[in-house]
Chain A
Amino acid sequence: MMLTTQKMTTNPRPDRAQQQSLRAFLKRQSKPAAVWLKLSIALGTFNALLMIAGAYLLAQAIHNVMFEGNNLAQVTHLLWPLAGIILLRAVFLVLSERLSAFAALKIKSAMRQTLLHKLSLLGPSYIEQHGQGATLNTLHNGVEALHDYYAKYLPGVAYSALIPLAILVVIFPTDYKAGLIFLLTAPLIPFFMILVGSKAEALNQKRWKQLAVLGNYFFDRVQGLTQLKLFNATRTELKQIAKISDDFRHATLDVLKIAFLSSFALEFLATISVALVAVIIGFRLFFGTLDFATGFVVLLLAPEFYLPLRQLGSHYHARLQGISAAADMVAILNAPLPSDVNAPVTTSAPENNLTLNTINSISITDLNFIYPGSNEGIKNINLTLPNKGLIAVVGSSGSGKSTLFDCLLGFHPEVINNLSVNGQSLSTTDITYLQNNIAWIPQKATLFYDTIAANIKLAKPTATQQELKHAAKQAGVLEFINTLPDGFNTLIGEQGEGLSGGQKQRIALARAFIKQAPVIVLDEPTAHLDSQTELLIQDAINEYAKNNLVLVIAHRLNTVKHASNIIVMHDGKIAEQGDFETLAAQNGAFADLLKTAEQGVAHA
C-alpha cells in the first residue's frame, strides 16, 4: 500500500525560545485583519462591561425585593434595563465571535496566498527537495490549523488581561477588601499554571516521540496490512496492536496526570477563592459592614473574574497547533530565493509571434550548476543547439540530464547568463522571452482539475476552437475526445483521474503543439505506455523536428536512432556527442549505455 498519510509529525516540538519567535511571527501575520481582530476583542470586552452592569442591576433588584419590601412593579425599572443588557450581550457575543472568525479567515487566505506566491518563486526544485506532500500539507491543513489560534487563542489572551482588570476596577471602589482577595489570588493562577505547565511540557518534550510512535502504530500497520496478510502475520499482530494500544494508554496517562495538575491548580484556586470570597462577604454582611447589593455583586462577579483565565487554559491546544504549523511556514517564507529573481517573471507574453522565427541557435557556455548543500549538479557544459532537428540526450539516472533541461528551461535563474540565443547572452529578465519560445512535455504531465479544453489552452489561452481541434488531432487525441459525451468540455479529475497514461500523455502533447513554439523540450515517458501512443509520439515529434528544434531526454531505442544528434551525459558532464552510427561504433560512454539497455540482445 502507498504511504499517503503521515499522521505523525517527526519534527520535534518547538522549544520555548522558538515558540517565542513563532508567536511573534504569527502576530505579524495577523496584520491583514488586525482591525477586525481588535474590533472583536473590543466587542468582547464591552460585553464583559455589560455583564458587570447587569450584575449590579440584578443585585440591586434582589436587594430591593428582599430588604426594602419592593414589589415587582417597583423593581421593573431595574429589570427592564437588565433584559436590555441581556439582549445586547447576546448580540455582542455573536458579533464578537463572528468577527474573530472572519479575521481568522482573512489571515488564513492571506497566508495561503503569501506561501503559494513564495513557493512559486522558490521554484520546483525547492518543492522537490522538501517533499511535495509535506509542502502541500503546510499549504492546506497547516494554514487551516491557524484558525483557532487567531479566532480563539489570541482574543482569549486579551480577555484574560482585560476582563479581570475591568472587574477589579469596578470592585475596588465598591469593596476594596474583596478586590484585594481577587488581586492576590489572580497572580497565583498563572504562576501555578506556568509551574505545572512547564513540568508537563518538559515531560511532553521528553516523550513526544514515544507517544507519537505508539499513537501511529495502528495506522502504520493498517497501511502495511496487505503485507501482513502475505506474511500471514495478522493474528499475532492483532495481539500486538492490543498491547501497543495499552502501552499508549499508560504513557499518555502518565503525561496527562501532570498536565491535568495545571488545570487542577487553576480550578482549585478559582473555586477556593470564590468560596473564600463568599464566606468573608457573608460575615461582613452579618456584621453589617457591607450592604447586601454590594456583597451579591461581588459573589456574581467572582466566578467571572477567573473565567477568562480558565478559558485560556482550554485554548492550550489551539496555541500549540498554531505554533507548530507556523514553524513550517516560517521555513518556507525565510528560504532564500535563487539570486535576483525579482525580475518580473509573470509578465504577459509578448504580442504575436514576433520572436518565432528569430531563434537561429541556442548556446550554452561554461555552465556550472550545483544544487545548494550537495555536490550533485552539472559541470562545464558547452553546447550549441541548431534551430531544427531532433536532439536526443541520454545518460544513466543521476547523470545530470534533468538538471541540464531545468537550466535550459530557465528554472535556475542564477545560470541564465550562461545561455545565449543567436549569439546574444540572456539576462535574468529574459527568462520570459526564453520560456515563451519553448513548449515542454515532462515525463508525467500535470493535468489540472479543469476541462480538457482549458488544459490544452493553458499553453495558449487565446486559441480558437479550430486551433484546439488541430492540436488535438496532431496529438492523436481528437478521436478520443470526440467519444466523450462532453467532448472538450469534459472535466478532468485530480491528476487526470479516469484517463489512462497514454491519454494523459497525448493531452500534454496537444498542449505543447498548440503553442506552436520553435522549440519543444520532451522528457520521454519511461513507463510502458500502449504501443499506439508510443508510435504516435514518435511520429509526431519526428514531424515537428523537420521545421523546429526538438530536444528530448530519450529512453527508447527508436528515438535515439532517429536523432540527428545524441548528447551523452555522464557524471554531470557531456561525455560524447554525435549520431547513432558514429557513437555506437566508438567504444565510449554511449556504447556502454547501449550495452546496458540491450543486455542480452546485443549478442543475439
Chain B
Amino acid sequence: MRNFIRLLKLCAPHYKAMLLGTFLATITVLANVGLLAISGWFLASMAAAGIAGVQMNYFTPAGTIRFLAIVRTASRYGERLVTHNATFLLLSEIRTNVFATLSKLNNVDLAMSRSADLVNRLQNDVDALDKFYLNVLLPMLVALLSVPIIMLFMSAYNGNVALICFTGIILIGVVIPALLSVKLTKNSHKETQLSAQLRSELSDTLTGLRELSIYQARSQQLNKCDELSEQYNQQLFIRHKALANSDGLSLLVVQLAMLASIVTIVPLVYASSMVNVELAMLSLFVLASFESVLLLPNAFIELPSVLKAAERLFTLEDKAASSQIESTHIDVDENFSAQNHTLLLNNISYQYGEQTALTNVNFELKPQQKVAIVGRSGSGKTTLVNLLTGLWPLQQGSITLNNQNSVVDLHSLNNDIRANVINILAQQHHIFDGTLSENLRYAAPNATKEQMIEALALAQLSPWFNELKEGLKTRLGTGGRNVSQGQSRRIAIAQALLKNPAILVLDEPTEGLDNQSKQGVMQAIMHVMNNASVLTITHDPALLAQMDNVVWLEDGKVVAQGSHKELSSTYPDYVALTTRF
C-alpha cells in the first residue's frame, strides 16, 4: 500500500491530464450503457405504443440514441489521446526520477548488483511502471466513478436488480481477478525461473556448438533444450488455462446476472407493479453495466508486478537518499588544479565481504610520470581503478593529491573538480546513442568543432572521420553507425584529449585489439601522455616499455616495482606474464 501511495505521488504533477482522461473514459462507459438501455426501452415502448395504437414522442429517445452514439465515439477518441498523453507524462516523470536516483547512488551499490543485471531489471521495472496509469489506475478510477452512478439509476427502477448487478460487478471486477492474480503471481516465479533456465541452456548450446560436435553430444543437448522448451511451455499453459477459466467464469456471471434480473422482474410485470417496457430496458441495462469493470481484471493482474517493480525502484531511491547524506564533500578551492600534484596511494586495502581484493598497496604517481600496473586476472587491478574513480568509498588507507603546500584527499573533492582532475578510460567504453559530437561533448560540453576535429586527429581517427559523410553529426551507438572496439577506444581517447585532465587512468587500452588497431591506439595514447600523469593497467610489452615505473600486483599485493626492463631481467615469471603471441 505504501508503494501504491508513493506511485500516486509520482502521478501528482500530472493529475489534471489524468483526471480529464478518467472523466472522458467514464463518459464513454456511461454513454454506452445508456445507449443500450435506452435502445431497449425505446424498442419496447414503440412496440407497446404500436400495439396499443397510441401516439408517443419518439423524437426525443431517437435523438438521444443518436446523440449518445456520437458522444460515446467522440469521448472514446478523446479519452485515448488524453490518457496516452498522461501516460507519457508519467513515463517522463518516472524516467527522470530513476535516473536521478541512479546518478546519486554510489557505485559500489550499482556494481554489487552486477551492472548488466541491474540495467536489465531496471528496464523491465521501468517498463512495468510506465503503464501504471493506463493499465492500473485508470480502470480503477473509472470503475469507482461509474459503478455508483449506474447503481443509482438502476436502483431507482428496482433495488433487487441493482443488488444482483452489483454482486456480479464485484465478482467480475474484484473477486475473480483477485483470485486469478494470486494464482498467476504464484506461477510467475516458476515461469521466470524456467524462462531464464531455457535461455541459458539455449545460450550454452549456441556457444558450445563446437564442443558438442566434437564430443558427439549435439543431439543429446538439442533434446535437452527441446525438453526444457516443452517444460516452459507447459508452465505457461497453466497461466493460459487460468486466463481461459476466468474468461469463461466472467461470461457466466454476466449472463446469469441478466437472467436473474429477468426472473426477478417477470413476477413484478405480471403483477403490473412494474411497467412492462422496463423489463426490456433493465435486461439490457444489466448486460451493458458490466462494461464499467471491463478493464479491471487486467488491472488486478498487473498490480502485483507493478508494485514489485515500484518496490525495487523505491528501495534504490531510499538507498540513494541515505548515501547522499553520508558523503558530504569538503569543498576545496574552486580553482583547484592538480597540475604538479603527486597522486599518492597509501596503505590501500579492500575487501568484498570475506574476500580480500587489495592488501596494503602503496605507490605514487608523480606529475607527468607514467606508471603501469601489471597482474593476472583477480589480482586486484580493477578494484584499484574503481577506487581511483572516487565513486567507490575507501575502506582502508588513503588516496591523496600532494604538493609542497597541501595534501588533498581525492575522495573529498566534489564531483566537478574530481572529474576535471582525473579521467578514467574504462575497458568497456560506452558509445552513446547519439551523434559523434554529442558523444565528444559529454567529456567537454563547451568544445568547439575545431577542437573536436583536432582531438579526433590526435586520437588517430582522421581516416575514419574523413569517410563519414555527415561528419560530427554522424549517429553512433545502437541506433547509428557501428564502431569497432579499436575505434571506440580511440573515441574515448579523443574525449580524454578534450578533457585534458591532469591525471589519466587507462584500463587495458590495447587489450583484445588486432595489430593495426593496436598501433593506432598506441599512437593516440602517446599524444595523451604528453601533458598528463598516466596510470595504466596493461600487459602489452610495447606499452610497458614506454612506462617510467611498473607496479606488479599479485593476489592484491604489490610483488615488485621497477621499470619494465628491470623487472624483465630480474623475474622470469614477469616475462612469462607479459609475453603473449
Contact = CB atoms under 8 A, between A and B. Distances in A.
A62 interface: yes
Contacts of B324: none
A12 to B, nearest CB: 12
A4 B65 contact: no
B233 A396 contact: no
A501 B376 CA distance: 11
B255 A89 contact: yes
A397 B514 contact: yes
A139 B418 CA distance: 46
A495 B203 CA distance: 9
A216 interface: yes
Given A97-B247, A230-B419, A445-B211, A238 B103 contact: yes
Nearest to A405: B210
B403 interface: no
Given A278-B42, A410-B213, A286 B218 contact: no
Interface in A40-85: 54, 58, 61-62, 65-67, 69-72, 75, 79, 82-83
Residues of A contacting B: mostly: helix
B149 interface: no
Interface stretch (A198-206, A243-251, A474-482, A543-551): A243-251
A147 B217 CA distance: 31
Give chain A's interface residue range (CB within 8 Å of chain B): 35 or more
Interface stretch (B3-11, B18-26, B91-99, B304-312): B91-99
Interface in A228-260: 228-238, 241-242, 245-246, 248-249, 252-253, 256-257, 260
B123 A7 contact: yes
A401 to B, nearest CB: 10
Residues of B contacting A: mostly: helix
B573 A260 contact: no
A396 B110 CA distance: 38
B244 A93 contact: yes
A599 B429 contact: no
A414 B209 CA distance: 18
B58 A93 contact: no
Given A2-B116, A216-B479, A231-B442, A61 B376 contact: no
Contacts of A228: 103, 442
Given A71-B270, A275-B69, A528-B376, A286 B88 contact: no
B407 interface: no
B579 A556 contact: yes
A299 B428 CA distance: 66
A295 B580 CA distance: 89
Contacts of B577: 528, 531
A4 B122 CA distance: 13
Contact of A278 (B43, B80, B263, B426): B43
Contact of A112 (B99, B215, B226, B433): B226
Contacts of A20: none
B244 to A, nearest CB: 4
B218 A120 contact: yes
A591 to B, nearest CB: 13
Interface stretch (A154-162, A219-227, A317-325): A219-227
B389 A230 contact: yes
A275 B69 CA distance: 7
A593 B244 CA distance: 67
B247 A94 contact: yes
Interface stretch (B175-183, B274-282, B325-333): B274-282
Contacts of A465: none
A227 B496 CA distance: 12
Given A216-B433, A245-B95, A5 B269 contact: no
Given A69-B270, A101-B237, A346-B219, A598 B541 contact: yes
Contact of B216 (A216, A264, A348): A348
Interface string B477-489: 1110000000000
B46 A209 contact: no
Interface stretch (A163-171, A415-423, A435-443): A435-443
Interface string B101-118: 011000100100001100
Nearest to B217: A458
A349 interface: yes
A67 B275 CA distance: 11
Interface stretch (B193-201, B337-345, B360-368): B193-201
Contact of A600 (B61, B237, B433, B568): B568
A411 B210 CA distance: 8
Given A8-B479, A245-B92, 12 more contacts: A119-B209, A140-B198, A224-B430, A226-B430, A230-B389, A245-B96, A275-B68, A286-B50, A447-B204, A459-B215, A511-B215, A557-B576
26 contacts: A1-B116, A1-B430, A62-B262, A62-B283, A66-B280, A67-B48, A71-B266, A83-B256, A86-B259, A95-B244, A98-B241, A139-B202, A140-B195, A224-B432, A231-B495, A232-B419, A242-B96, A275-B66, A278-B39, A286-B47, A288-B50, A299-B43, A458-B215, A461-B217, A461-B220, A601-B541
